[in-house]
């Protein structure tokens, strides 16, 4: 099942993609897709619906983040060995964890607005894990039971803020518009092997990233288990699992986003995103 939210920012309605690839409105069955919707029982109820007669969402309708109510947005750094190498960092012995502020979350095709005076805004395609049920000190073998599904994330990053302004990585990761998610939340039953997914990202039509989750240093099940040792994972918590090589920081010389650039990215089966980059403009944030 592919869940989505459609409509103007702040007024999104629930929806899904049916077996024929048509977007359908779910407003007659629930008010919104939230962290509460991600329970196994609620997902089962939605899965059993007859979608054939649900209203069709018109093509071109804006999509928001596929669910509301992310409690924690947890990220894993340097989780592809070849990305660690291009970043001049050693391959971690344990997962590197940091956070993105939830205020960065937006729809998959909403504009990226660079922070004021930013010169090193970068791109990072990542596989996202969405938590369905509380997880605390879970065994890797049981991790999948706590996963509602998966999604595409662009972990947009400001490298100067992240690496040159002292302190944690977080300050370069959570700027407004730096968390495009979606287009869909694809339930776990439709992703039989999350360690066999291709990730790609283009900037202005030029392929910059082309990787596979097979090359993760730490896989999906281990990450859920590991993170649950340090914080209780709750329904709706989101984990960004790291990016393959090809980020702007790793180009020789480095290449960063500028106003007017178009970023497209996707994971087969999980959908695609498209963002236009803008210089700082607070009017684009509301």
Please spell the DSSP secondary structure of 21-48, one letter per residue: S-EEE-TTT-S--BGGGGSHHHHHHHHT
- What is the reported pLDDT for 91? 86
Question: Can you tell me the mean pLDDT for 53-57?
Answer: 97
Q: Above 80 in pLDDT, residue 167?
A: no
Domain architecture of the chain: domains with CATH? 65-285 (3.90.850.10)
Q: Is the peptide bond before 253 cis (omega within 30 degrees of 0)?
A: yes
| 92 or 195, higher pLDDT | 195
**Minimal CA–CA distance to 17: which of 146, 190, 138, 155?**
190
Helix residue spans in the chain (DSSP H): 40-47, 81-86, 159, 220-227
- What is the reported pLDDT for 83? 83
pLDDT > 70 in the chain, percent: 100
The Cβ-side half-sphere exposure at 111, using a 13 Å CA radius, reads 18
Any idea which of 19-33, 86-100, 237-251 has the lowest mean pLDDT? 86-100
- What is the reported pLDDT for 88? 79
- Confidence label for 133 from pLDDT (cuts 50, 70 and 90): very high
- What is the reported pLDDT for 57? 98
Any idea which of 58-72, 143-157, 164-178, 181-195 has the lowest mean pLDDT? 164-178
Question: Can you tell me the mean pLDDT for 165-184?
Answer: 93
- What is the reported pLDDT for 166? 86
Q: Report how far residue 92's alpha carbon sits from residue 80's, in angstroms, rounded to the nearest whole number.
A: 10
Question: Can you tell me the mean pLDDT for 174-188?
Answer: 98
Determine how many CB atoms are found less than 10 A away from the CB of residue 248: 18
34, 69 Cβ separation under 8 angstroms: yes
- What is the reported pLDDT for 82? 82
Question: Can you tell me the mean pLDDT for 186-207?
Answer: 98
Strand 238-240 and strand 185-187: the pairing is: unpaired
Task: Please write the tens of the pLDDT for every residue from 75-121.
Answer: 999 999 888 888 778 888 999 999 999 999 999 999 999 999 999 99
Beta strands in the chain (DSSP E): 2-6, 13-17, 23-25, 73-77, 96-99, 105-106, 112-113, 121-122, 125-131, 147-154, 157-158, 179-180, 185-187, 198-203, 206-212, 238-240, 262-267, 271-278
- What is the reported pLDDT for 253? 95
The pLDDT mean for the chain works out to 96
Residue given tokens 């090359």 in the structure block: 215
The reported pTM is 0.97
- What is the reported pLDDT for 157? 97
């Amino acid at each position: 099942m592919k869940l989505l939210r459609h409509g103007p920012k702040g007024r999104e309605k629930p929806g899904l993609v049916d077996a024929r690839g048509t977007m359908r409105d779910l407003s007659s069955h629930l008010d919104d897709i939230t962290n509460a919707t991600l329970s196994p029982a609620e997902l089962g109820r939605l899965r059993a619906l007859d979608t054939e007669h649900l209203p069709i969402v018109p093509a071109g309708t804006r999509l928001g983040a596929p669910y509301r109510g992310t409690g924690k947005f947890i990220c894993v750094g340097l989780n592809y060995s070849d990305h660690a190498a291009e970043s001049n960092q050693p391959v971690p012995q344990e997962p590197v964890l940091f956070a993105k502020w939830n205020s960065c979350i937006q729809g998959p095709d909403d504009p990226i607005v660079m922070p004021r005076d930013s010169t090193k805004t970068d791109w990072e395609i990542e596989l996202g894990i969405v938590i369905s049920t509380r997880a605390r000190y879970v065994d890797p073998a049981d991790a999948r039971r706590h996963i509602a599904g998966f999604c595409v994330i662009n972990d947009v990053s400001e490298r100067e803020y992240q690496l040159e302004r002292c302190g944690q990585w977080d300050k370069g990761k959570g700027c407004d518009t730096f968390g495009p998610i979606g287009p869909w939340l694809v339930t776990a039953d439709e992703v039989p092997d999350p360690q066999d997914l291709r990730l790609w990202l283009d900037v202005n039509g030029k392929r910059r990233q082309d990787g596979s989750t097979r090359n993760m240093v730490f896989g999906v099940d281990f990450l859920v288990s590991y993170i649950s040792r340090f914080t209780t994972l709750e329904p709706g918590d989101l984990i960004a699992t790291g990016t393959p090589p090809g980020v702007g920081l790793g180009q020789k010389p480095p290449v960063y986003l500028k106003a007017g650039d178009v970023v497209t990215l996707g994971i087969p089966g999980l959908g695609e995103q498209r963002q236009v980059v803008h210089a700082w403009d607070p009017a684009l944030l509301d």
